[in-house]
Structure 1
Amino acid sequence: MAADVAGYSRLMHNDEEATHAGLTALLADVVEPVIAEHGGHIVKNTGDGFLAEFPSAVEAVRTAMQFQNRIHELTMDDAEDRRIAFRVGINIGDVIAEAQDIFGDGVNIAARLEGVAEPGGICISQTVLNHARDKVSFEVEDAGEQTLKNIARPVHVYRIIIEPRRRPPTPKPGIAALALPDKPSVAVLPFTNMSGDPEQEFVSDGVAEDVITALSRYPSLFVIARNSSFTYKGRAVDVRQVGRELGVRYVLEGSVRKAGNRIRVTAQLVEAGTSNHVWAERYDRDLADIFSVQDELTEALTTAMAPAIADAELRRAMRKPPESLDAWAAYQRGLWHLSKATEDDDATAEKFFKQAIDLDPTFGGGYSALALYQLQTAALYQKLDLSTAQRSAEALARQAVALDGSDAEARSCLGWALQARGEADGALAEIERALSVSPNLAIAHGHRGATLIFAGRPKEGLTALETCIRLDPRDPYLAVRLLHIAGGLYFCGEYEASIVAAKRVIRSYPDFPMIYRWYAAALGQLERPAEAKEALEKAVSRAPAAFDMYVRNRAPWFRPEDHAHLVEGLRKAGWKG
């Protein structure tokens, strides 16, 4: 059993002496006697909580329910911002025992279960439920399989309903719970000023406001306006209630603490419906120019959050059976298959993108993704005629733009469709329009980088591709980004670096055939004949149609001089064509 006090730092900040005295009394008068009564013992205290072990899961559950009820009775009249409430996690597992501690996966999982429990609540694993359900009278709420921090496999989590009156708050009378939008939705709550200095309030408010502004530029996110999310300022809130009242799936909460010339910002992203922690981070900065630091913190927070939300949405979509997918989930499933960079997965991705369009013809993401799929399958696997794919992809991209002219992803997709026809100037114009709307849109930076590389500006292109990968390290198109980096380095004459980049692709995507062409050409330029010959054989045998398209012929987006440069390296590698 792992337990801690919810909001302990906030309680200590409000009244350190009263919090310490109250916690000490609850542990001595309630928790410790109940644990001993049921045959358990406290292994160690953790400052704001404890770790205990029991001879059986049944006794651990009885203990937790008993002391949680008793603590609730003792504290129910306390002010909400002063109330002490434990969160408890219970798991079964083998442990490594030392004199003052226990270790092992079983302990780690219990600690993570405690982290997703509500204040005053208890979370248990499937194994605990199986052991205790017929021996202790309780109901559970199934929270589903959850990915817990530093735990390799998802854990099926159940919340014990101690008493119906202690369930999470329901919406206020007359206020209906808002329906969730058809894309990931997030509310950024005002950050708590932990500095004890009212003058620092503008810093904590400023960080939250800037994060709201930055996130609102992501076309894939639905972001609640400041005026709504800031109504929770100064209140102890339940993220589930926030989710219901604002109609959002995710809630970002955080704090700002200033000490001397240093500032610390902590933030955590929580899935409102389950209270599951999706992402958390801490940032420490020197406080020289407050506005520069605020800008830096905002960029760091939004850069980390957007991929975290995308990853959470992808996991959520993958848990749904295909027949129950909505348009957004079908789109996410398609992106997952596209990220595998194999011919079969590309074909599966197409089915999901078409399903997304069928389910919601007004969802622009389905059209954009299907367009990118068509360009990719024609360029990488030659499964579609290139000219046919170019026309179809451009039409799909224009359909996405017509649905929403401010959709930055649609604009970027249209730019990529123009690039495929060799219209670099038009492509860059559309991509720049996308970035003016959403400056941190990773896919737009990726399209810009590749367009610049094939437009004779490879150094600028490489910088844009690095930005793309930094903004979204799990980009579904990562294999293609890395392929373009290898090509860009080759065009810069940095052949050794191109080889390193090519090997990175081969390690991560061993079934991706396109990289061997650049690998062979770079080895040829460096006069490494044995390695170059082996790479050349793979370039021809693994993708003969692609070799014809890019080497024997010239793709529309290749400049003649760049094509000649590639052919030169391949001839040095031993190609006789």
Structure 2
Amino acid sequence: MSRIQTSRRLAAILAADVVGYSRMMASDEVGTLTALKRHRELVFNPAVAQHNGRVIKLIGDGTLVEFGSVVDAVNCAIAVQTAVPSDATSVGKIVLRVGVNLGDVIIDGDDIYGVGVNVAARLEALAAPGGICISGIVNENVENRIDVVFEDGGDVTVKNIDRPIRVWKWPSTALVKPLSATPDNAPRTVLRDMLPSLAVLPFQNMSGDPEQNYFADGIVQDLITALSRFRSFAVTARNSSFVYKGRATDIRQVARELGVRYVLEGSVRFSGSRLRVTVELVEGTTGTHLWATKFDADIVGIFDIQDRITESVVAIVQPRIQRAELDYSRSTRPESVDAYDLYLQALQKLNTESGDENEVGIALLERAIELEPDYATALALAAASYQHPVAMGLPTLSADDAERSLELARRALASAPDDPIVLAECGMVRHSTGRDYDQGLLMLLRALETNPHDATIVWRAGIAHLKGGSLDEAQALFERAVRLSPGDAFIGLTGIAHIHMARGNFEEALDFARRSLAHNSRFPATHWMLIAGNAHLGRLDDARRALEALQKLSPDVSLAGIRRGQHSKDPHRTQVLIDGMRLAGMPEV
């Protein structure tokens, strides 16, 4: 018996399989097989032949194809995923995932083996339904030689491959839509598909000096990196947005082509020793300008300027997008029952700081969690919302609120243990409801390390230090939060007032409390500072007037309620508030 000779060669490998094939076969075996055969006949095989491929094997619904050219392999994948067959009815609901790799393979007769083949199979499993996933080496070889743009999916560790693989995906996560609901594809919200999406376009260099392009490109790269840390929206990768460098563009067309809802654009102009950078956030569907700003500076210390611009823009863009999403949800999707829309509707209620609205917001979040039990952001926000009335000294919704808050926090962390928003919300729950000050602080510091530009995370880390850490660190964080988000300055200013209160600096505490009141007169904690600070200074008439203002906001406020929510690792930091408010005549219960 003769032995078949094996050899090695470099080849592009395409792996494909059918989404939901097992469920489809269980539902309609004959119809599924007929549709698969027709799909191969009308779509897959013609695309392989047109792009000079060789079908190596068919494994049930899976197919392995070899190409001599990596460009041919990717173009074949695109042709398969974008084809509209002349007889679409007979193809039925056949939707593929496709992976493409370039690597060394072992040729054994008509078959091929090796790591190159294994990686292609792993990439196929990472592709979205109807999408394509390629390896980093494939992307390097086909960049600017094909008609679509792949989005950087980062480094991924896959089974039986001893090193992480850099993956690139098409279409972008912003474009991927859930499959239609069918008996074998149960309706279920795909959360990442509903998140808003943003593209940062290359900034225009208005100086007429090509050597200054590096600065403009550096700002954009920093913005993309920093904005990508937010989990509340998707950011298009640099290689996608930089396709538009040097091109006159219509923002609405760019938004359509990239599949994004928002576009950030800008310009850089050098004039002598001066620099001006302008930045604009635009809604992509209508071209409406949502926000714009400019930075003027001396070019001495240019890279410090770059960092300052990045920090300032990133801090503003996230809340602006969230505000636009709330408006979008309110105006166009008020009856939606998708989990993401329920989450947005809950945010609208929770932002009012009203006890009744907080209860409505929690109910909306509970509905979102019913639809998506692993929706980490909704779980974390719900956990924090159960805890919030307690922290504000208000009556709880039920006797089981604390237990429910901790349960939801555990579920959120199990679902997304590295998400900075989840860490921040659950860290607050851990130290406020669970009274685990050290662990709560560590979680918030992890969140801060993951996303240092999120003002909400910054002031929450300040609260964690105020309750169970360093007062100096707390003050630095509150000051940073005020700088990052002036619109929410009242939180940081009140935090600084509390720090001065704990140190016995009552005049300074009153100064910051008054500044906070000018920003937001409906924040209960600001009134606590005004009451206690005036009382400790012997200004009881002023303290009682501040108490009356608080009681209009929170008729059920009491020392017992505030004590229940405003505990701390160092009891003095809370007791100084309680003692001052008792002097002013706040009821015990």
TM-score, structure 1 length as denominator?
0.63
Letter in 2 for 1:448: A
Q: Which residue of 2 aligns with 1:429?
A: 442
CA drift at 1:386: 8.8
Check whether the contact 1:525–1:573 (CA below 8 A) recurs between aligned residues. no
Check whether the contact 2:448–2:461 (CA below 8 A) recurs between aligned residues. no
> Helix, strand or coil for the counterpart of 1:283?
strand
Structure 1 residue corresponding to 2:236, chosen from 197, 200, 224: 224
Q: Which residue of 2 aligns with 1:288?
A: 300
Q: Which residue of 1 aligns with 2:335?
A: 323
Check whether the contact 2:462–2:473 (CA below 8 A) recurs between aligned residues. yes
CA drift at 1:173: 11
CA drift at 1:381: 5.3
Q: 1:481 to 1:360 in 2, by over 3 A?
A: farther
CA drift at 1:367: 0.9
How far apart in 1 are the matches of 2:510 and 2:574? 18
Deviates more, 1:385-394 or 1:374-383: 385-394
Structure 1 residue corresponding to 2:175, chosen from 175, 178, 201: 178
How far apart in 1 are the matches of 2:570 and 2:148? 66
> Helix, strand or coil for the counterpart of 1:268?
strand
Q: Which residue of 2 aligns with 1:443?
A: 456
Q: 1:310 to 1:385 in 2, by over 3 A?
A: closer
Q: For residues 477-517 of structure 1, what are the alpha-carbon distances to aligned partners after superposition, in whole Å with 9 as ceiling and x for unaligned?
A: x7665554443331132322333444456566556555444
How far apart in 1 are the matches of 2:354 and 2:490? 10
Q: Which residue of 2 aligns with 1:91?
A: none
Q: 1:208 to 1:332 in 2, by over 3 A?
A: same
Q: Which residue of 1 aligns with 2:576?
A: 565
> Helix, strand or coil for the counterpart of 2:352?
coil
CA drift at 1:557: 3.2
Q: Which residue of 1 aligns with 2:204?
A: 192
> Helix, strand or coil for the counterpart of 2:194?
coil
> Helix, strand or coil for the counterpart of 2:175?
coil
Structure 1 residue corresponding to 2:430, chosen from 399, 406, 418: 418
Q: Which residue of 2 aligns with 1:462?
A: 475
How far apart in 1 are the matches of 2:453 and 2:270? 28
Q: Which residue of 2 aligns with 1:522?
A: 533
How far apart in 2 are the matches of 1:397 and 1:267? 37
Q: 1:324 to 1:479 in 2, by over 3 A?
A: farther
CA drift at 1:573: 3.5
Q: Which residue of 2 aligns with 1:361?
A: 373
Check whether the contact 2:336–2:342 (CA below 8 A) recurs between aligned residues. no
Check whether the contact 1:540–1:547 (CA below 8 A) recurs between aligned residues. no
> Unaligned stretches of 5+ in structure 1?
1-171
> Helix, strand or coil for the counterpart of 2:266?
strand
How far apart in 1 are the matches of 2:510 and 2:498? 10
Q: For residues 42-74 of structure 1, what are the alpha-carbon distances to aligned partners after superposition, in whole Å with 9 as ceiling and x for unaligned?
A: xxxxxxxxxxxxxxxxxxxxxxxxxxxxxxxxx
The 5 A counterparts of 1:323-342 are 323-324=335-336, 326-342=338-354
Q: 1:383 to 1:227 in 2, by over 3 A?
A: same
Letter in 2 for 1:422: R
CA drift at 1:256: 1.4
Q: 1:231 to 1:500 in 2, by over 3 A?
A: same
**Matching of residue 214 in structure 1 with residue 248 in structure 2:** no
Check whether the contact 2:498–2:529 (CA below 8 A) recurs between aligned residues. yes
CA drift at 1:241: 2.4
> Helix, strand or coil for the counterpart of 1:220?
coil
How far apart in 2 are the matches of 1:338 and 1:561? 30
Q: For residues 337-367 of structure 1, what are the alpha-carbon distances to aligned partners after superposition, in whole Å with 9 as ceiling and x for unaligned?
A: 2222121221222122223323433432211
CA drift at 1:449: 1.0
Q: Which residue of 2 aligns with 1:404?
A: 416
Check whether the contact 1:243–1:272 (CA below 8 A) recurs between aligned residues. yes
CA drift at 1:554: 8.1
Q: For residues 402-421 of structure 1, what are the alpha-carbon distances to aligned partners after superposition, in whole Å with 9 as ceiling and x for unaligned?
A: 22233100011121111113
How far apart in 2 are the matches of 1:554 and 1:295? 38
Letter in 2 for 1:450: I
Check whether the contact 2:393–2:562 (CA below 8 A) recurs between aligned residues. no
How far apart in 1 are the matches of 2:499 and 2:511? 13
Q: For residues 381-400 of structure 1, what are the alpha-carbon distances to aligned partners after superposition, in whole Å with 9 as ceiling and x for unaligned?
A: 54427984333223212322
Q: 1:187 to 1:533 in 2, by over 3 A?
A: closer
Check whether the contact 1:427–1:451 (CA below 8 A) recurs between aligned residues. yes
How far apart in 2 are the matches of 1:558 and 1:387? 24
Q: Which residue of 2 aligns with 1:126?
A: none
The 5 A counterparts of 1:466-485 are 466-474=479-487, 483-485=494-496
Letter in 2 for 1:178: L
Q: Which residue of 1 aligns with 2:181?
A: none
Q: Which residue of 2 aligns with 1:393?
A: 405
Q: Which residue of 1 aligns with 2:500?
A: 489
Q: Which residue of 2 aligns with 1:131?
A: none
Check whether the contact 1:533–1:574 (CA below 8 A) recurs between aligned residues. yes
Check whether the contact 1:514–1:546 (CA below 8 A) recurs between aligned residues. no
CA drift at 1:376: 0.5
> Helix, strand or coil for the counterpart of 1:186?
strand
The 5 A counterparts of 1:29-428 are 178-179=175-176, 181-324=193-336, 326-380=338-392, 382-384=394-396, 388-420=400-432, 421-428=434-441
> Helix, strand or coil for the counterpart of 1:323?
coil
Check whether the contact 1:214–1:302 (CA below 8 A) recurs between aligned residues. yes
Among the aligned pairs, what percent are the same residue?
35
> Helix, strand or coil for the counterpart of 2:335?
helix
Letter in 2 for 1:524: A
Check whether the contact 1:378–1:389 (CA below 8 A) recurs between aligned residues. no
RMSD, aligned α-carbons: 3.1
Check whether the contact 2:394–2:562 (CA below 8 A) recurs between aligned residues. no
Q: 1:377 to 1:293 in 2, by over 3 A?
A: same
CA drift at 1:277: 1.1
CA drift at 1:315: 1.7
How far apart in 2 are the matches of 1:312 and 1:279? 11
> Helix, strand or coil for the counterpart of 1:257?
strand
How far apart in 2 are the matches of 1:419 and 1:352? 25
Aligned length: 403
CA drift at 1:222: 0.6
Q: 1:386 to 1:464 in 2, by over 3 A?
A: farther
> Helix, strand or coil for the counterpart of 2:309?
helix
CA drift at 1:545: 5.4
Check whether the contact 1:454–1:557 (CA below 8 A) recurs between aligned residues. yes
Letter in 2 for 1:218: F
Q: 1:360 to 1:385 in 2, by over 3 A?
A: closer
How far apart in 2 are the matches of 1:292 and 1:227? 25
Check whether the contact 1:255–1:265 (CA below 8 A) recurs between aligned residues. yes
> Unaligned stretches of 5+ in structure 2?
1-146, 150-169, 178-192
How far apart in 2 are the matches of 1:480 and 1:290? 32
Q: 1:378 to 1:570 in 2, by over 3 A?
A: closer
